[in-house]
Amino acid sequence: MTWNDLVAAAPEAVLVLTACVVLLQDAWATGGALEAERRGAATTWLTLAGVCVAAALAAPVPPGEVAAFGGMYVRDGITRLADLIALGTAGVGVLLADAYVRRMRLPAGEYCALLLLSTVGAMLMAASRNLIVLFLGLEVLSLPLYVLAAIARRSARSQEAGLKYLLLGAFATAFFVYGVALVYGAAGTLDLRVLAAVPASPLLGGGLALLTIGLGFEAALVPFHSWAPDVYEGAPLPAVAFMSVAAKVGAFTGLIRVFPQGLAHLAPTWGPMLQALAIATMVLGNLAALPQTNVKRLLAYSSVAHAGYLLIGVAAGGPAGTAAVLFYLAVYGAMNLGAFGVLVLLDRRGEEADRLDDLAGLAGRAPWAAWALAVCLVSLAGLPPAGGFIGKLYLFRAALGAGQIGLAVVGVLTSVVSVFYYMRVAYTVFSGEAPPDVTVRRNAMAGVALTAAAAGVLIYGIIPARLTAAVQQAAALLK
């Protein structure tokens, strides 16, 4: 390890250090009490400071491709954008969690530290040019998420969610490692640059299929999605908001590193596999979301469906597909955090207000939150003028450009299906009487987070030129 290696990985290093400081600070401040009576906001501020420093370090456009740790870790345009999306998610996630964590008496130090470590995992996956680093990133991403899902110690639902996530996740990770082993057996290397010249073989194909299972679990692709609705429903809301985005950022940048970038020459092998997965994911995700009456479950299936849309870009491959995935990840982050973020504000007698009926009449008493939610829902449905539309435009352009007409047709038709359930939520928000046992817990931090998310959604939809230029520049490295 040289000094240059550390400089390249400085954003990750800053986050890990911040995580340690935050843990210690919280322990000192609360005297080690698990459920402290009172808690300052210092933990949140420290975490935010770390995120901001990391973002400042990650923000400069790297000159071409900066390799570190013997070429296992690279910092290029894709790393940069993925880092910024992951860090933005972490920042908004912390802001959303602040009041909730205090209200529910969750251990704030652990919460923030785990969130930061999980972000490091997603960033590592985006930076990996070697399957070992990718595996490392996957583990660093998902282990904190298992704990975050179960962090509400007194909630049986949260415990159940954590356990389910852990068991299924461990199972999927085993597939991933076995896939890595098979790839090594077939190619004699785990370096993705070297793999780019390896001829196709059944062993390599098997290895890739198993890799896809591991990444597909993290991304919640059908048929590896069955954990998502249960975990999303049970885990604490701010944690769900964060994990729904962070896991996708990691999984999809990992998929980009492996397939369109690493194994572009084997596209005829993996292309049809990914297309089939994308179609299954879009169709099942959207259909399963239709009858949901629990908003967390509904958004869980919606995030499954969005994994399908993102996979369109991976399956299309090339610079166009990669640019589309990166753009959509940014938009997805903003709109999903916004949608979950509004739910975080609501409280039904000390519990999460996650039933559809709990949202009724929200526009009457919290108009700003209602509008933010509406903007995010319109974007999730892929309608203009929100960012989700431009994102889908890019994805479908990539699919048609790659000649994958069937994929694009399924994509647009399932988007129409999705409009049905998103509009059902939007309609509920703007109509009816507010249920008396649901209260709106306004707080400044969540307000800032929601404003940022909704503004992001609108900016990506109305003036997306800067982001589109950035993603196209980053993806141009692929060639």
Query: Residue from 6, 24, 167, 416 that binds another protein (CB under 8 A)?
Result: 416
Over the window 357 to 396, marking each residue x when it contacts another protein by CB under 8 A and - when it does not, the resulting string is ---------------------x----xxx---xx--xx-x
Nearest alpha-carbon partner for 159 in 173, 146, 140? 146
State yes or no: residue 293 binds another protein (CB under 8 A): no
State yes or no: residue 200 binds another protein (CB under 8 A): no
Q: Which one of 211-219, 260-268, 308-316, 468-476 is the stretch in contact with another protein (CB under 8 A)?
A: 468-476
Using DSSP, state whether 351 is helix, strand or coil.
strand
Query: Residue from 45, 178, 184, 427 that binds another protein (CB under 8 A)?
Result: 427
Complex with another protein: residue 13 or 393, whichever CB lies closer: 393
DSSP 264: G
Both tokens of 455, joined, read 């503004």
Instruction: Name the minimum Å distance from CB 269 to another protein.
Output: 25
- Report the C-alpha gap between 277 and 41 in whole angstroms: 43
Complex with another protein: residue 244 or 418, whichever CB lies closer: 418
Complex with another protein: residue 263 or 373, whichever CB lies closer: 373
State yes or no: residue 408 binds another protein (CB under 8 A): yes
Query: Residue from 33, 52, 412, 444 that binds another protein (CB under 8 A)?
Result: 412
Instruction: Name the minimum Å distance from CB 122 to another protein.
Output: 25
- The answer to whether 402 and 392 are in contact (CB under 8 A) is no
Complex with another protein: residue 291 or 385, whichever CB lies closer: 385
- The answer to whether 289 and 381 are in contact (CB under 8 A) is no
Q: In what order do the strands lie in the sheet with 351-352?
A: 351-352, 346-348, 438-440
- The answer to whether 132 and 189 are in contact (CB under 8 A) is no
State yes or no: residue 420 binds another protein (CB under 8 A): yes
State yes or no: residue 282 binds another protein (CB under 8 A): no
Report the amino acid identity of residue 10. Answer: A
- Report the C-alpha gap between 6 and 18 in whole angstroms: 16
CB proximity list for 26: less than 8 A, separation 6 or greater: 43, 107, 108, 109, 110, 112
- Report the C-alpha gap between 272 and 157 in whole angstroms: 38
State yes or no: residue 430 binds another protein (CB under 8 A): yes
Q: Which one of 57-65, 93-101, 104-112, 400-408 is the stretch in contact with another protein (CB under 8 A)?
A: 400-408
- Report the C-alpha gap between 410 and 398 in whole angstroms: 14
Binding site for another protein (CB under 8 A): 378, 383-385, 389-390, 393-394, 396-397, 400-401, 405, 408-409, 412-413, 415-416, 419-420, 423-424, 426-427, 430-431, 463-465, 468-469, 472
